[in-house]
Structure 1
């Protein structure tokens, strides 16, 4: 059997992946970073692209190498730990936090500007319509290529092109001097901003969607899956890089029309309003709504497929319905409340997910993968708890946390990075002296 997609399907798959990763947060971070970076825009953008584009691409490659499932990524851990970790990540990121946030952002940027008196009723009705569409398009995961990659994404790309090209031919100002943390440190600040997009976390969820779509189109051999995943990931990464660079430029030339914005969404709104008037508001609303919708579809699909893999008794379409309803309900709590509630949770989950990605890429070099995985993930998890606990005011907690302030990157919530690297090196050296234990099969657990 020929293990190859047509050029049209490869491009469509790349567009689908690009659309799933491009959420509203990805449109908001770069403009603010560009404005603050000023004349150091390209240094900041380079750092941003490493973590905002490079890391998710590595995640897609790693997931395709292990077969596309979360359980395969974490196979070196005890079975019970694999299930617990997977359930926590998918439940928190999809029906409780990540997917509901897409609906809230779409409502606040894409709908509120056109309402005289936005209220809880309008938000509820919008969330019902938004997640109703996401539910319908998630019912057939093998057909996401047709619904998202070939229909929604081309429209999104056209709108983004207008948004990105306009500041080049009709700039509304010039880049100023770097501000805040970008003074003399633009690359590092951009690196950290890309880290905060959380796309590496999303890649662990979207990887299974990509592999599922490839298999539904006849790509089943391991080598063909990896090859097509790499091509798909590169197309998506190239598209994301172009979007980020154009938005960095938009932000850098925005100081004359808006100073001291609270977030990148304000920059986008004011910029498109100055360039296009009411048509600019419609343009921005359409871009943000499509971006949020495609991300929600990817998240709902990934979570539903994961839980179906855990138990064949679960029905995929029923899960899609339950998760969509949950997203709709949490979306009515309010954007600020959801973000504040789950920031500590994300500070714990994200480092562990980055560790999984990097470990998966070098697994074949480990003399004792089980030892390396278990020790490294444990250290990463414990240090991520330190970063997530910074806001505690209890005297005992403060005294304990002071011991970790000397770790490199502590002020940026990166306390785990140096111990992560050290643990990998030490366990690899120790692994040469310890014979790996035989893997435990699922039927033995």
Structure 2
């Protein structure tokens, strides 16, 4: 019975880690545009937003380390640079997006105030909570996720029984890759490598008497349960968006669609309640990101409190600067960055999950370098230089799906392992 309880508690912790409030705005619009290919979009989204992040937790369970340890086999310098880039992205994109989501979900429908005002107040409060490390948010977080899940299940259930199974036509040329790329925007693979270690440490503290194998088994069981729960919610939201394709204008924004779906299924009062819950969940995410980044910089400067404070200030200033823009703009700005860093993150997660005999330092170097090189064309395509590099992308398999790095990385993995065996 204790094992069942431990598994469920750990599964809920993992679910809460990946089920960020910002993620809620992504699946409905995917379904809204997916039409009768909603299932293919769902498959792609779940690979990048569920499978890869859960694998990241499995990697943490094996490494028993931090973000820095993910890239150590490439080189210590690479591991440090990779860590710094990941933390810079975290405070520069997903953290400000939480302020923008809060404005569009909870402020904009009721008050005619600018984004910048919300952003300034929001990150001023974030800074106060970061500097005081209040446990209020941890306690609050335990109630936020269940409450949001209940509302979402109601929305999904009401939609399923109220709307005809009319899917419409897809607007995506490649529904599967569209789902994968939208899954990048959850930032959950990055979340897995950044804060996954916190959950592993918590498990170790609670289960000191258990062996390493028992702890790893616990993480795997919890991971499967959390993954299945995420699949139900994400697939449900995508399907909900699909069924409501006639209810809204085709150019509707992500947050407006979530608001609209909530009002049509639950009414204005429930929508206000959802807005408050999502805003609080966004706030806890922002505090976690800024705190985690400041802790990392602090650790690089001999536990200097000054370094922590300066990093927290920079993180909040960046949040105000970027958080004054609307959600869709921040998502558009994030895409080029994600097209470059996400493949590297995915590869590091996969390599750290595979057996060590297949992932020597030589293999790590070969696969990571190959992934970096072949991510450049996808990155250039995402910033509007697709025509310039089209002669290159035309000969790279899967480049048309913005995944030109996949096959070269796999070939590098096989080749480096074969070479190592011959030596």
Q: TM-score, normalised by structure 1?
A: 0.82
CA contact (8 A) 1:14 1:149 kept: no
CA distance in 2, matches of 1:122, 1:78: 42
User: What is the CA distance between 1:192 and its match in structure 2?
Assistant: 4.5
2:78 aligns to what? 81
Correspondence list, 1:131-280, <5 A = 131-132=126-127, 135=130, 147=139, 150-169=142-161, 171-181=162-172, 186-187=175-176, 189-219=178-208, 222-280=212-270
Is contact 2:68-2:83 (8 Å) kept?
yes
Q: CA deviation at 1:77?
A: 1.9
Q: Find 2:103's aligned residue among 93, 107, 110.
A: 107
Distance 1:121 1:265, change over 3 A: closer
**What displacement does 1:87 show?**
1.2
CA contact (8 A) 1:67 1:211 kept: yes
Corresponding residue number in structure 2 for 1:437: none
Per-residue Cα deviation, 1:27-82 (whole angstroms, up to 9, x for no partner): 12221222333344334323432332111111110111011312222221221221
What pairs up with 1:30-429 in 2 under 5 angstroms?
A: 30-93=27-90, 95-118=91-114, 120-129=116-125, 131-132=126-127, 135=130, 147=139, 150-169=142-161, 171-181=162-172, 186-187=175-176, 189-219=178-208, 222-315=212-305, 318=309, 321-322=312-313, 325-326=316-317, 328-335=319-326, 338-366=330-358, 369-390=360-381, 402-429=391-418
Change (3 A) 1:41 1:137: farther
Structure 2 partner of 1:443: none
Q: Which moves more between the two structures, 66-75 or 37-46?
A: 37-46
Give unpaired runs (5+ residues) of structure 2.
none
User: How far did 1:110 drift?
Assistant: 2.0
Equivalent-residue separation in structure 2 for 1:9 and 1:297 (angstroms): 27
Counterpart secondary structure, 2:290 = helix
Per-residue CA deviation, residues 235-286 of structure 1 (Å, 9 max, x unaligned), is 3322211211221221121123114143433322222222333214313313
Deviates more, 1:214-223 or 1:248-257: 214-223
2:25 matched residue in structure 1: 28
Distance in 1, Cα, partners of 2:219 & 2:30: 30
Alpha-carbon contact 1:22-1:295 (below 8 Å) kept: no
How far apart, in 2, do the equivalents of 1:235 and 1:26 lie? Answer: 19
CA distance in 1, matches of 2:310, 2:5: 31
Cα drift, residue 85 of structure 1: 1.4
Instruction: Give the paired residue count.
Output: 420
For residues 379 and 223 of structure 2, what CA distance do their matches in structure 1 show? Answer: 31
Q: Which runs of 5+ in 1 are unaligned?
A: 435-445
Assess if the C-alpha contact under 8 Å between 2:297 and 2:311 holds in 1.
no
> Secondary structure at the residue paired with 1:113?
coil
CA shift, 1:15, in A, is 2.5
Q: Residue 178 of structure 1: SS of its match in structure 2? A: coil
The alpha-carbon deviation at position 84 of structure 1 amounts to 1.4
1:304/1:117 Cα in 2 relative to 1: closer, same or farther (>3 Å)? closer
Q: Which residue of structure 1 lines up, in the alignment, with residue 421 of structure 2? A: 432
